[in-house]
Chain A
Amino acid sequence: MDREFETVVGLEVHVELKTATKIFCSCSTAFGAEPNTQVCPVCSGFPGALPVLNRQAVEYAIRTGLALNCEIAEVCKFDRKNYFYPDLPNAYQISQYDQPICRNGYLDINVDGQHKRVGIIRAHLEEDAGKLVHQGSITTTPYSLVNLNRCGVPLLEIVSEPDMRSGAEARAYLEKLRSICLFAGVSDCKMEEGSLRCDANVSVRPKGSTKLGTRVEIKNLNSFRSLEKAIEYEARRQIEALEDGEELIQETRTWDEEKQVTRSMRSKEEAHDYRYFPDPDLPPLHIDGEWVERVKSSLPEMPDQAQQRLSNTYGLSDYDAAWLTSTPETLNFFDQAVQCFPDAKAVSNWMMGDFSRLLNQHNMEITDSKVTPQYLADMLRLIEKGTISGKMAKEVFEEIFFTGKSPEDIIKEKGMEQISDQETLQKIIDEVVASNPKVVEDYKNGKEKAFGFFVGQVMKATRGQANPALVNSILKERLMRE
């Protein structure tokens, strides 16, 4: 079925820039304040109020554009996008229409070993609108409440070329875009807080065709997973419809997370006439080469570069290197840990394994936890020395995670030192073997499970602290003498 059709996906991503103040006024952008306490005449559209552009927002936009390999406009301006909605106090949004600040960029993704370059058409600055709170759903609520705190927060809208061909590619694009923005230091990119938003444009067409099919916009994608699922669903829906001879309509659909389907937004499908015109209150921007150079030289190592470095220096797999470069904090942690304990594979295994698991479980960022690169390195050294087994290390690690104590302190406190003394182990093993003659018989008769039994008994006797490698070798040798 799908062999005849290909899916074509373009993404429109809104990134909330992490300036301290809004784009056109000095109100704070801090998340979570009481409604309408971060609002002034400018961002709430009072008579006589006028916008003044936040330089930092422009700086962040240039940064992002450069990180996305875009051309930065030498001259650009702001335009008014006119429409009425209660969360839009001026009844126009200040945006950029035909002269966006960034153009013609790209980013690279890797899906199942396949590299792909996704084009970026443009990125432009605009202001966010406020928030509407309904009683229940938007269609049944008798009234709504308007909170303008978010009004005027700076956004960068990034529009990709329709270069993606699957939900997986779209997801990879969004994840990469997020990483790049995190490394560039322009946004927190938290989908759950709304600082990273994504709408998808999905169409299908017969394989080999170059004409674009009917495009459907999908909204309400609140996680990477929803993005991927929604695109897969929508593509299938469109293909099935076409195969049934139905005609597709260009529309906006919403992703229903509960039912895992896209639904048509039956609200009035009016074609918006936004009547864009240049905002007369804002003089244009002239961005000279010097400014761009300054920003360029201040950019840190970007994810792709870092990934390359990790692969080349440490021989890590693409997958591992990508994981370690997903956020600057993760990369920083890794780099520091490897400085202290130069086994990159060991470090990455622990980071991608237990560390990641614990962070996810407790909804924490890597910098929130009490584990330091030094502690991880120390712990790995203790394993290497044989002071603790790999299995015990898991316990130790959890302790570090929750208490912030060093691995040495924890081992000491809990008396968790691995028993690696030959004599001690020999004694215990002798005892265990002597007390279980029947199992010795089983072993001599070829029952493999018997060996495991003895190991288990030794571990029980030593409360799990016996060095497993030594136990194995001493036990084997002991049983051979039977």
Chain B
Amino acid sequence: MELYELTCHELKEKLDRKEVSCQEITQSFLKRIDQVEEQLKAFVTVTADLALQQAEQYDAGDAVPGLGGIPYGLKDIICTRGVRTTASSKMLENYVPFYDAMVAARLAEHKGILLGKLNLDEFAMGSSTEQSAFYPTRNPWDLERVPGGSSGGSAAAVAAGEVAYSLGSDTGGSIRQPAAFCGVVGLKPTYGRVSRWGVMSYASSFDQVGVISRDVRDCALVLNAIAGHDPRDSTSVNQPVPDYTSFLTSDIKGLKIAYPREYFQQGVDSEIRQLIMNALKHFEQLGAIVEEVSLPHSEYALPAYYLIAPAEASANLARYDGVRYGLRDLQAENVVAMFSRSRAAGFGPEVKRRIMLGTYALSSGYYDAYYLKALKVRRLIADDFTRVFADYDLVVAPTTPTVAFKIGEQTDDLLTLYMNDILTVPINMAGLPGMSLPCGFVNGMPVGMQIVGKPFDEGTIFKAAYAFEQSTDYHKARPTLGVNK
């Protein structure tokens, strides 16, 4: 087996036993990137030199616990000091931050090896990575298909073995959905669990940085590293961070799992529904109690999301005005023209659409009918979950309504594209933690099961996910990429 095929914990073991050096590991991953990146296009920027430098330093210094020496990638919406960060947008094509996001600094402290910045839908707005201003990323399981989005690059790179793990961001499903499409583990933590400092905001009350990894143990290791309070983020919560690996027992006897009937309706592929039902039976066999529940306001989550998120985005993206950084139309003769033309040139169509939508929803005369209304509906959705979690430990559902679709298949059909988020958005509305993990295949394409927990109870999610994973083989499957291509 190649080093790039191993999980973080397997690599860690080898490093600790001095069976391999960090440089050897790094070179294996860089070789893999050479092998497949041209087809995959998961990266915006590959930092090969920096990575080798870091690897050399690591080998020369003292071994570091945690994620030391493990190669990783960061979604290109996470600011990295001195390394170009573009949000996959022309607006920031040449932007080089002079500060690190909190999560980037944490992984650097751990002496991880940064292999590069990963592709996304521009400014995290999209479900397929086709909205990247540079190029779409492809699904390692089928290069004609999308990897999902907006953290498509982050998921594809992990699935293809270009990085051992990655960080993405999830606002309406942008970690869980691509993780499901690419057959890897994707975790969106509870809102407030991980600091948003240095992560370019899309929708402030939904955005969370999360983990994409090959298996559940890796996910726990990475969450250990990045979770915690940050005084620079007023929405980051001051709650102790447990050792998430301590939840990786296989004992889930008596665990109460609910599955909401609204997530198993016609809009979801029947084969996918079947796979999740199989998974639920599996949970029962492992000793869990599984029961059907109702989350009656589920169908209203998506329309509410597509009012609130764009509204916040319209304000969050207003800072991109060409004055202090980013693209500027230098010919503009006055400031209004400068703003309007710089932004027109810098933003792609989906970003423009959402800014327009959000601006409209907040504008005078429409605020009550749209934005305020959506905030009220948000409370109803959150309350649905609160009610269910009074009696259950976890909620399980499919992550996506379909498997990965073909590139170009949905780009003209806006509402269909938005429907990809229908099963993930409610979790962001309620600020809950949610994980997608592989639970089978349909026509050779991966399917993800979504496990949702109570606020700050990622531990129970890990417990159930690990139990499922260790009693199945889905996490061992690998795409046959780079062979015969």
Contacts and interface: CB of A to CB of B under 8 A. Distances in A.
Nearest to A283: B234
B233 A50 contact: yes
Interface in A66-83: 80, 82
Interface of A is mostly: loop
Interface residues of B, number: 42
Contacts of A84: 318, 321, 336, 339
A38 to B, nearest CB: 15
Contacts of B203: 280
19 contacts: A45-B319, A45-B324, A46-B99, A46-B324, A47-B87, A48-B79, A48-B199, A50-B233, A51-B234, A52-B232, A82-B362, A84-B336, A86-B323, A275-B314, A277-B315, A277-B371, A280-B203, A280-B204, A283-B235
A223 B323 CA distance: 33
B201 interface: yes
Interface in A140-174: 144, 146
A262 to B, nearest CB: 26
B77 to A, nearest CB: 8
Contact of A86 (B196, B234, B335, B364): B335
Contacts of A406: none
Interface stretch (A87-95, A357-365, A413-421): A87-95
B37 interface: no
A369 B232 CA distance: 43
Contacts of A49: 197-198
Closest 6 CB pairs of A and B: A91-B318, A275-B362, A280-B204, A280-B205, A48-B198, A47-B200
B231 A47 contact: no
B367 A46 contact: no
Given A46-B324, A48-B201, A41 B318 contact: no
Interface string B30-70: 00000000000000000000000000000000000000000
Contacts of B198: 48-49
A146 B234 contact: no
Contact of A89 (B205, B319, B363): B319
Contact of B235 (A53, A80, A276, A281): A281
A104 to B, nearest CB: 26
Nearest to B325: A46
Interface in A438-455: none
B364 A273 contact: yes
Contacts of A46: 97, 99, 319, 324-325
B319 A277 contact: no
Nearest to B339: A84
A45 B326 CA distance: 12
Contacts of B97: 46-48
A387 interface: no
Contact of B311 (A44, A92, A277, A283): A277
B196 A48 contact: yes
Given A53-B234, A275-B364, A280 B312 contact: yes
A191 interface: no
Given A45-B324, A50-B197, A275 B367 contact: yes
Contacts of B315: 80, 82, 90-92, 275, 277
B150 interface: no
B101 interface: yes
A261 interface: no
Contact of B231 (A52, A276, A280, A283): A52
Interface string B252-265: 00000000000000
Contacts of A47: 79, 85, 87, 92, 95, 97, 200-201, 319, 325
Interface of A: 41, 44-53, 80, 82, 84, 86, 89-92, 144, 146, 273, 275-277, 280-283
Contacts of A89: 319, 323-324
Nearest to B197: A50
B190 interface: no
Interface string B87-112: 10000100101010100000000000
Interface in B276-316: 311-312, 314-315
B359 interface: yes
A45 B232 CA distance: 14
A196 to B, nearest CB: 28
B232 A48 contact: no
A90 B318 contact: yes
B363 A273 contact: yes
A65 B87 CA distance: 44
Contacts of A273: 363-364
A92 B318 contact: yes
A92 B312 CA distance: 12
A82 B199 CA distance: 21
Contacts of A52: 231-234
B326 to A, nearest CB: 9
Contacts of B312: 277, 280
Contacts of B99: 41, 46, 48
Contacts of A281: 201, 204, 234-235
Given A84-B321, A275-B363, 9 more contacts: A45-B324, A46-B325, A47-B319, A48-B78, A91-B318, A275-B359, A275-B367, A277-B362, A283-B234
A276 B372 CA distance: 11
A48 B101 contact: yes
A146 B79 CA distance: 25
Contacts of A282: 234
B273 to A, nearest CB: 35
Given A89-B323, A91-B321, A50 B87 contact: no
A144 B323 CA distance: 11
Nearest to A25: B232
A281 B321 CA distance: 21
Interface string B163-197: 00000000000000000000000000000000011
Contact of A48 (B197, B359, B371): B197
